[in-house]
Amino acid sequence: EQVMQIVRDLAGYSYGRSDQVRRAMSKKKADVMEKEKNYFIYGNEEIGVEGCIKRGIPEEVAIKIFDDMTDFAKYAFNKSHAAAYAVVSYQTAYLKCHYPVDFMAALMTSFMEHTGKITEYIMNCRKMGIEILPPDINEGEYRFTPYEGNIRYGLAAIKGVGRPVIDEIVAERKLGGRYRSLKDFCMRLSGKSVNKRTVESFIKSGALDSLPGTRKQKMYSYISIMDGVNQEKKGTLSGQMSLFDFASPEEQKELEVKMPDVGEYEKEEILGLEKEVLGVYISGHPLEEYVATLEKNITRTTADFEVVDGETEPKVKDQERAVIGGMITGRTVKATRTNNMMAFLTVEDLYGTVEVIVFPRDYEKYRTLLEEDAKVFIQGRVTVEEDKPAKLICSGVVPFDAVEKELWIQFLTRADYEEAEQTLFAILGNYDGIENVYIYLSKDRARKLLPKSRCTKVCKELLSELYTKFGEDNVKVTEKSIEKKFRA
């Protein structure tokens, strides 16, 4: 701040330009500092800096002042930052240790509009044993709030739902009690800020899950319910009560609109709708079954490519070699000047998204692997521009299903294995594949590789059967690194 004030007061820098000097000093950019020294002393009309000499400050004095600032910057920025951040680190570590739920709820509230950070914090919460509950009109508040040792998602994080709507929902809930059904919710809030678009967003986010009916049933019926409520309101004089208001709880159930018999959405659809209105997945993630595979093979997550509020650079470094893993959620193919095709990908992992650029040579090589929804590992070189999220220049692609797995099944003795052998073979026979199966005899500390004819396809269904028959502690899947795959 003192450096910024000095260049403003002595050389006529603007606030914005003085901040550029601060950045250059803090990052020790010698080439930029040399230019700024010249501007500071002699000025530059093109950038609107008068310079010290024009303002009556002798040249030798201006040189001495700037050199003193440069020497000061060699130690002042890092030491002052270290001291300040040490205090903040101690305070936040104390709060996170002793009040983890409150701390994480407050942290997520402060980054409510930054979905990349919210996703990262959700993952951290799960590792800490804190469950993230979906937004709920009967339990939630504007902010992320602690709820019975877990965290309730903030209603304000739902896209298209403003503060006035949330305030009305919470106020009506406090006045009239919990919302009992979708019709009750619409009746009590009809004519206020809540409209069809708001209700649709609430359904997609899971905020109406505490009301009877599945999300799919509510999506199929909310328009007719709201239209019916509006008609009923029109037929009721202002200040009078409707038949629904006079009815007992049992009678109200009879007056409720019957939900269509359409069941519930598939898991993938539920997750997609959550992502649409929340920007994150709450009830799961399309990649959650690949967590171990990702952790074993990636060097960076998409969160490392983001520029967080208050920072100017991401965690990744320019020209760094990195491996990411995730799902391709967007793909744009364009022709170059030489009429060769290249691609721009959006790759999503458990934390957010990153842009990946695939130049013609690599696009031609990997194009069949780069379809939307494909789950892939991508190796490449990082490219960083100041104040922008970093990107990855692709140099290699390996699909998730190319990761080599081995299935291990443990028995105490050879006799135990021989007794269960035919049952095991019958189960493996239902899942033909190429993955090796090993038998481990714990008492003898011996292992046996089953013949190629017994190779299998490791999947959730197979593991479920094996867990049921032999116990989860006796079944293990190991994976080989994909590093060699990139060299192939």
Listed in sequence order, the DSSP H helices in 151-266 are: 163-176, 182-189, 196-205, 215-234, 243-246, 249-255
Q: What is the pLDDT along the chain (488 residues), one digit of tens a residue?
A: 888 999 999 999 999 999 988 888 887 788 888 999 999 999 998 889 999 999 999 999 999 999 998 888 777 777 877 888 999 999 999 999 999 999 999 999 999 888 878 888 998 998 899 999 999 999 999 999 999 999 999 999 998 888 999 999 999 999 999 999 999 999 998 777 888 999 999 999 999 999 999 999 999 999 999 988 888 877 665 555 555 555 555 555 545 578 899 999 999 899 999 999 998 888 888 898 898 899 999 999 998 998 876 566 788 999 999 999 999 999 999 999 999 999 999 999 988 899 999 999 999 999 999 999 999 999 999 999 877 889 999 999 999 988 989 999 999 999 999 999 999 999 999 999 999 999 999 999 999 999 999 999 998 899 999 999 999 999 999 998 888 888 76
CATH 1.10.150 residue ranges of the chain are 129-267
- Give the rounded distance of the alpha carbon of 151 from its chain centre: 16
**CA distance linking residue 203 with residue 142, whole number of Å:** 17
- Maximum Cα interatomic distance, the chain, rounded to a whole number of Å: 98
Domain 129-267 in this protein, CATH class: mainly alpha
State pTM to two decimals. 0.68
Amino acid (one-letter) located at 424 = L
**Helices 2-11/15-26 angle, 10° precision:** 130
Q: Is 313 exposed, middle or buried (0-12, 13-18, 19+ CB in 10 A)?
A: middle
Residue 272's H or E segment, with its range, is: helix 267-278
* Cβ–Cβ < 8 Å for 464, 481: no
CATH 2.40.50.140 residue ranges of the chain are 288-401
- Residue 149, phi-psi category: left (phi > 0), alpha (psi -120 to 50), beta (remainder): left
**CA distance linking residue 116 with residue 304, whole number of Å:** 10
* Cβ–Cβ < 8 Å for 341, 360: yes
* Cβ–Cβ < 8 Å for 7, 40: yes
> 60 CB contacts (<8 Å, ≥6 apart)?
none
Within 10 angstroms of residue 203's Cβ, the number of other Cβ atoms is 25
How would CATH label the architecture of 288-401? Answer: Beta Barrel (2.40)
The label of the residue with tokens 């074993």 reads 296
For residue 480, give Cα distances in angstroms to 187, 288, 395, 485, 487. 58, 19, 21, 10, 14
Please, what is the Cα angle at 127 between 122 and 129, to 5 degrees?
Answer: 95
